[in-house]
């Protein structure tokens, strides 16, 4: 008869049962944890897009050149990025004092564009979800693109008053 003192180690059946319990627990806990990490990275990417948006506003409102005509009127030339471009295109419109990252925490490229009215920064999510975080979204290649943008400033005047002021002051809008 074998005494308890002579018995050492675990049986193969005990090891298999422990591994099976660990696998079941991992299967139950791991997917929600990975999903939460991905959501946290998406939220961090949106916050980073808000920072890039501030720099984009500087580039959008910076006059690239100014000309004065014979009547003393100034004409400014502004840059534009009509299509989605990388942050390096935005960086080219700014001085060397600005550093813009090229990728976000989701490891996707940061895309920017702007027109005369606003700047837009895109965050490509690795999953599909409409209206993520209350932001405007687009579907690109089956995934969600969140568009972070500035609010359009509203004037207290009706549009016809603004138009008349521009005519009186001989202003030319962009």
| pLDDT reported for residue 50 | 92
Burial of 123 (0-12, 13-18, 19+ CB in 10 A): buried
Residue 81: its pLDDT value, please?
Answer: 85
Kindly report, residue by residue over 152-164, the tens digit of the pLDDT.
Answer: 666 566 777 776 7
pLDDT score, position 170: 64
pLDDT at 23: 93
Structure tokens at 166: 């521009």
What pLDDT sits at residue 22?
Answer: 94
pLDDT for res 21: 94
Question: Do the strands 111-114 and 119-124 form a parallel or antiparallel pair, or are they unpaired?
Answer: antiparallel
Smallest Cα–Cα separation from 56: which of 131, 15, 112, 111? 112
Whole-number pLDDT of residue 111: 93
pLDDT computed for residue 7 by the predictor: 67
**Sheet of 81-86, strand order:** 81-86, 111-114, 119-124, 143-149, 136-140
Q: What pLDDT sits at residue 97?
A: 80
Provide the residue ranges of all domains of the chain, joining segments of one domain with +.
34-168
What element of type H or E holds 145?
A: strand 143-149
Q: What is the model's pLDDT at position 24?
A: 92
**What pLDDT sits at residue 45?**
92
pLDDT lower than 50: segments of the chain: none
């Amino acid at each position: 008869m074998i005494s308890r003192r002579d018995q050492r180690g675990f049986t193969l059946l005990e090891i298999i049962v422990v591994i099976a319990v660990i696998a079941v627990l991992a299967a139950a806990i791991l997917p929600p944890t990975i999903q939460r990490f991905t959501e946290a990275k998406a939220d961090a990417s949106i916050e980073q897009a808000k920072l890039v948006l501030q720099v984009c506003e500087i580039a959008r409102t910076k006059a690239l050149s100014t000309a004065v005509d014979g009547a003393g009127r100034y004409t400014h030339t502004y840059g534009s990025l009509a299509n989605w471009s990388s942050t390096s295109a935005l960086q080219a419109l700014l001085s060397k004092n600005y550093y813009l990252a090229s990728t976000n925490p989701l490891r996707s490229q940061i895309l920017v564009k702007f027109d005369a009215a606003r700047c837009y920064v895109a965050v490509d999510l690795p999953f599909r979800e409409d209206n993520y975080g209350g932001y405007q979204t687009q579907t690109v290649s089956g995934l969600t693109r969140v568009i972070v943008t500035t609010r359009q400033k509203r004037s207290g005047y009706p549009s016809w008053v603004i138009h008349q002021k521009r005519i009186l002051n001989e202003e030319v809008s962009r």
